[in-house]
Amino acid sequence: MKTAIASVICLLLATVSFVLGVLEISFPDIFSLADKFNAWKYGLHIGIAETLLSALLIVPAWKMNRALTERLLEGLIRIGIGGMFIFASYFKIADPKGFAVLIAQYQFLPHNLINLWALVLPQVEFWFGLALIITPYVRECTLVILAMFASFIIALVWALALDLGITCGCFQIDGAQSKSEAWTALVRDLVLLVPTTWLLTRSNKILFRS
């Protein structure tokens, strides 16, 4: 019983650290510890350090109670990644024209595919994010979500290669911003690839059901 409680505490601390790390990377103007220490304003090093700390905290939890840790970790990741994609889809569904303009700024897709992509991608984000949480098809949903991550990473690398000052458009649609925002979005997506890829090792089942 004591080891189970200790395992849960370590896992909760790991979750808090990981969430803070992703927020630090994604929204530096809102969730930034770097400013308090007069560090680089985007605080990427702090966000990355927090995500690495979360990984270290998982190790003792896993050693104390492997089955419980894996079960809770799967639930947290499915809810977190699924919820993130649902949240991200809201802005794009609400403003498809603005999202289409943002896609065009990447100078990546042919013009005749931009409007279609702006309509289809948010729907895929919403429904597969929801399915990851409420359906048993974790592996199938994870493969689709990984494909979306891959497309985001390719687009961001393309934008950086062309030296475009542009926001990623993941959680807001503000048009071109700065190259540093593309870097932070790229780092965030690479960080989120790790827990998402781990879901491929899990068996298909309803969330939190044995």
Q: What is the pLDDT of residues 169-197, one digit of tens each?
A: 665 555 445 566 777 788 888 989 999 99
pTM score, two decimals? Answer: 0.82
Would you call 1 exposed, middle or buried from its count of C-beta atoms within 10 A (0-12, 13-18, 19+)? exposed
Q: What is the pLDDT of residues 73-109, one digit of tens each?
A: 899 999 999 999 998 888 888 888 888 888 888 878 8
CA distance 5 to 135: 28
Phi/psi at 42 (nearest 5 deg)?
A: -90, -10
CA distance 57 to 12: 9
